[in-house]
Amino acid sequence: MSHRTLLVEERDDRVVVTLNRPEARNAIDAAMVDELHTLCGELERRPRLLLLTGAGGVFAAGADIRELLERGREEALAGINSRLFDRIARLPMPTVAAVDGYALGGGAELAYACDIRLASESAVFGNPEPGLGILAAAGACWRLAELAGRSVAKQVLLGGRRLDAAAAHGSGLVAEVVPADRLLERAHALLDRMASSSPVALRLTKLVLDARGPHPVADDLAQAVLFEGQDKAERMRAFLDRRSS
């Protein structure tokens, strides 16, 4: 499938996605949102590891400001970016963001939605939304606090602080800082370690780790047991036989 804003490389055990709007520093626009939703649908149907990165030495320098300017109350209530990032966060298999250069605004929130972040030495994370008269409403106000602590989150979201690679690593936001020319190599090494694990164990571990309470993990685990049962197979076959007779 062709993409206008993404470069997509599919492998047996992983999908590598490069945000590719170099003329706009990979700003996240409506077309990219749609293409990332399509990608999520593919990874939900056929779960694989996901590596997200950006072209041209930039991860993503925010959402597209020209589009944001035209959005009003209804678009805010629709949660255009937040629904996408939530979907990425809920993908069945682990996700890794390899961040080189700027990850600002919506770009930072996309990185926060991934399970693990690696950074180049030139990586910079920030959420300058209040300076534009809005808030970071696609996950930063709660994900960043969970990832790096409430104090750091307030420094970034309220104080306008930008976290360079060293500060992001020191706060636990990123797992490793490496030279830019080794960033993808290190990201693939991490994915290789993941790929050597049981896919089912990885999926269930992520499900349990991310559960906010008994739901939805309790529902999914119970359903997983039932789906493998002979009773379910017999009852459903009987139902289909009755309907076709």
95 and 55 Cβ atoms separated by less than 8 Å: no
Q: Does residue 176 carry a catalytic annotation? A: no
204 and 93 Cβ atoms separated by less than 8 Å: no
Active-site residue, selected from the candidate residues 9, 10, 121, 129: 129
Provide the terminal-to-terminal Cα distance of the chain, rounded to the nearest Å: 40
Active-site residue, selected from the candidate residues 67, 74, 109, 176: 109
Q: Does residue 44 carry a catalytic annotation? A: no
62 and 29 Cβ atoms separated by less than 8 Å: no
**Distance between CA 151 and CA 159 in Å, rounded?**
10
Which residues are identified as catalytic? Answer: 109, 129
